[in-house]
Amino acid sequence: MGNLQEARPTWNFASADPGKLWTHPSLDYMSWTSSVHPREYAERLDDISRTSFFAHIVGILHDFHVAPALKGDGALVCDSYDYRFRAKVESLYPSTRPLLDAMAEMLPRPDLVLWLDLPLKEAWRRKGGTCSSFEGTSKDEAGFVALQTAVERLIFEKYLVDTPVRRLDATQEPHILSAGVLEAVDHLIGSRAPAYLRAA
């Protein structure tokens, strides 16, 4: 999100990426994530403990990043949110879904979702031809495609039914893709500003 932060320094940015998620001093107990990706840790857990761990990630994302940003000025752009975790859990460990569903009721809902459309074959190539058990029903391309297809269907048919979505072509050059994100968020902000501000 570096290009976006430079272009819109007054915006707030949040991410579920481990390199950005655990930066708050109060989260020093998670310092091990600097050397072990949480995805590798999750591989060692069973269904309930794994879903609880994902719920913890979503809770940290909200409490330490999303909620403080929403109290300030400027737009908040969040890279990934609870609906992706919920769809993956429902697909892989359906009996544990209520854990994330209960948390979702306490979270603010997005005003707009920007969906970066990338053909799954290209996504698999960019991942280096490998995936974790949380990214595929099996660790080959067929398993990756099967899970990602199921997750996308659930997200749009169940979790984002009432949320505006704008699809962006993720095969574009990064600067073009960033421009699309900027335009979409600027438009949303402008549409909600008072008329006298829009005319300024």
Q: In the chain, where are the structural domains located?
A: 2-198
Q: Which two tokens stand for residue 152?
A: 């996308």
Vertex 136 angle, CA 150 and 134, to 5°: 105
pLDDT value of position 200? 36
Task: Give me the pLDDT at residue 6, please.
Answer: 78
10-residue block means of pLDDT along the chain (200 residues)? 72 84 88 83 91 94 92 86 94 95 93 94 93 88 95 95 93 91 88 47
* pTM reported for the whole predicted model: 0.85
Query: Shortest CA distance to 25 belongs to which of 58, 55, 64, 70?
Result: 64
Classify 129 in phi/psi space as left (phi over 0), alpha (psi -120 to 50) or beta.
left
- What pLDDT score does 2 carry? 55
pLDDT 10s digits, 38-78: 888 888 899 999 999 999 999 999 999 999 999 887 789 99
**pLDDT value at position 15?**
87
Place of tokens 């031809």: 129
> pLDDT at position 1, please?
55
What's the pLDDT at 194?
45
Residue 9 has what pLDDT?
A: 80
CATH superfamily of 2-198: P-loop containing nucleotide triphosphate hydrolases (3.40.50.300)
